Structure 1
Amino acid sequence: MVGKEIDNVDKGILYLLQQDARGNTVTEIGERVGVSSSTVANRINRLEERDVILGYHPIVKYREAGLGHHLLVSATVPLTEREELLDDIMEISGVVSIRELLTNKENLSLELVAHTQEELEESLEDLDRLGVHIERMEIMKQERANPYNHFGKEFADEKTDG
């Protein structure tokens, strides 16, 4: 079921948070979407309560942080066990994200990081012990993110006269 529609102010707020959640203050966001900073703070709280916003995560250059092994893993788990396995998978050392896909094969996309190849192999063995069938592994070179433009680049234009 699709959630309740959001208005143009919320779209502008979401766009700016996706663009730079840390650098855009509620005052700056308010100026850009044409509302007060307190309204922005209230809107953000409401979006968090409605699970529209689930968190704020930096994009990390793992190599620069000393984690030279960064993999994207496509995996398959039985559909009947997928939901109960997700928490166990997140507990495995090195697993930093899981994307659940609506398909019968390759229904999970995992992101793993490690300092060494040995640590990476341990994480993969732990996944295997849980019954996660690894279909494909790819070395990640870099990641970029962009705000979803439907969330309102046009609603985040400068609203100030100055």
Structure 2
Amino acid sequence: MGIRLDDVNRRIIHALMQDARNTSAPTIAEDVGVSPATIRNRIDQLENAGVIRGYHANVDFEAADEMLTTLYTATAPIEERPRLAQQARTIPGVVNVREFVAGEKNLHVLATGPDVEALNDVARELTKLGLEIDDEKLVRTEQFQAYHAFGPEETHQQFSDYISLAGGNEVVEITVDDDAPIVGKSLERADDEGLLEDDTLVVSIERTDDVLTPTGSTEVRAGDILTVLSRSDFDESALRAFEGVGN
């Protein structure tokens, strides 16, 4: 399942790449100009779509008991490359495997260990898998940087379609969970049953590749992305109609 990367998504990715541990949804929301609920919803979407695959510590192994880190450049048969890459990850000491679209030198394997002998053990295990090691180098340092194109521009404007409006109004995006109470119900029925807050209005529904302008008879489906206008602060209670029982 793909996901569109609009300005909000890009800013979220940039913020998490900079410092995922100390970055909260309210912090990103304040910087971007949307509500924290929108940020949390977008992060869930990015994780479910596999865009954000995880959160990892950036470890300096040299500072950890002066451990050594080596980068192995290896060649795997093209048809075997995905399988061998997965198997290489299971070798004790291997901390990263990267595949390349190339016939030769198409795997980079990063490994760490307390001494040269431990790293030699990694090399032997890689060879046993059927990989041909072309080169190996001791890694001195490794640095990461958030992708600058996803960051804020010097004259950044708040987003017109996901903003906190004057007078306390807010516009929030919500993805409807599979077992949410509102699934299968029209907006009119949901309102009659008290599922929708009195001061909220569903202004659009994104469904697959279509954007719908809803009416009272429009039925809400699982996976719909609703744009909701709230005439007051959008709190967690307003999400209950759209969330599954386990959330």
Question: Common fold, TM-score beyond 0.5?
Answer: yes
Cα separation, 1, equivalents of 2:83 and 2:146: 31
Residue of structure 2 equivalent to 1:33 = 32
Cα deviation 1:133-157 (Å, max 9, x = unaligned): 11111111111111111113329x6
Aligned to 2:46: 47
- Which structure has more relative contact order (CA 8 Å, sep 6+)? It is 1
Aligned runs of 1:15-26 on 2, under 5 Å? 15-26=14-25
Residue 32 of structure 1 deviates from its aligned partner by 0.6
Scaled by the length of structure 1, what TM-score is found? 0.91
Contact 1:31 1:158 in 2 (8 A): no
User: What residue in structure 2 maps to residue 91 of structure 1?
Assistant: 90
Give the helix-richer structure, 1 or 2: 1
Distance 1:158 1:60, change over 3 A: farther
* Aligned residue number for residue 107 of structure 2: 108
How many angstroms does 1:37 deviate by?
Answer: 1.2
**What whole-Å deviation, never above 9, does each CA across 1:6-51 have from its counterpart, x for those lacking one?**
1101111111000111111111011011111111111001001111
Structure 2, unaligned runs of 5 or more = 159-163, 165-247
Q: Which amino acid aligns with 1:149?
A: H
Q: CA RMSD, aligned part only?
A: 2.0
Q: What secondary structure, in the 3-state scheme, does the structure 1 residue paired with 2:79 have? A: coil
Q: Can you give the 5+ residue segments of structure 1 that lack an aligned partner in the other structure?
A: none
Shift of 1:61: 0.3
8 Å CA contact 1:32, 1:158 repeated in 2 = no
Q: Distance in 2 between matches of 1:111 and 1:153?
A: 32
Asked if 1 retains the 8 angstrom alpha-carbon contact of 2:10 and 2:150, the reply is yes
Segments ≥4 residues shifted beyond 4 Å:
157-160
